[in-house]
Structure 1
């Protein structure tokens, strides 16, 4: 028996590597899945991998800009029109500009805070009434190791991801009486195309280490369990947090980092 039968899950950032793993996992567990992403070409391509002409669960794409309040309203309207309810929200998107603290550009600071934190608040606030109508809800935010420790290279990113801890806990306590749960996953070093191809990082960061065999093993030695995380590692936990198996878990901050923060 699948764990998410008849559930309706919005995956923001659903066209990214981590988001794509969530789409596949939630669909396999029986949920109807909405890929909500600004990347229309990739989002539509992913949605075409799933049959939508059956009476069972399906996957649809909705073009969505998470920083735009009106876009959230269009998204919620589309989901309710299509499925009649929404019961799960996974926020797995974000942005970063790698700048030392002293060089942090204010425009970039505002952009990072807006994308990584403010937009999550906007989305949750928009969907709360629909969760209440469903009689329950599971909200899963994706943080980072930066949620748990500082970085001289990314003060804005660290502030935004640390802010998700407070937002997650505030959401959890505010709506517990409505059986709406909210939890935060803090992934470690996830092997994604973004990390492999991002030119912002310095030679000592993971992106260059992944592509440099001389440094790769040394970096892996920092992870007690001995490997990078995969998008699927994160999606597996999200499925659990979205299911009845975790109905007494809310306001929790859970790391998936191979033990690097021990």
Structure 2
């Protein structure tokens, strides 16, 4: 059996881990999370207080990262869309900065696709998305997540290990309500949370859930994985490239105990 990389790891020891909801945030870098073409009129700004902001050329779409290193969530990622430039937000999405950055990347990639579809058509996908709610939680069913429905108009999906969840408020709560919520870790003290307001395009929620249950492992430094949940992780150790003409090096994979 290969040695456990979590025992006396070197300072640069990295692993590939699953499930994603327990992997840790990775590098909270806007250039990792944001796929926007900043060389094509998208604006990137950073304030003296550390807030990083990206704005679309039409000024109706913006997303930001507010660093708060002294808090348990380390800050907040926020996405908002306005029906008119500088108007009130029609919908918002927020992520704790402790959310795995790959989930943020996948949601922002879908957001850019919506923006480009609107740019090249007479549709307004940012405010008239017709994606059914089922597409947002179908991936969870496919992965065997548990499902419960309450009389208060909410349904909750829980991962097989009980350490991640998605809650959907399917009953109308008004324009300012919270429609979807996702988290990793224990609900009483989550590692991270994501919140989607009423009016958020459901294709963005679907991008989030699909990324959340993806079987593609995430690269992490050993020291960045949440120590209290390491026994729930599966990992492989990245291996060096074989020498030309030589056999491939052995690799280890297994559950952390």
Q: TM-score, normalised by structure 2?
A: 0.30
More strand by share: 2
Q: TM-score, normalised by structure 1?
A: 0.29
More helix by share: 1
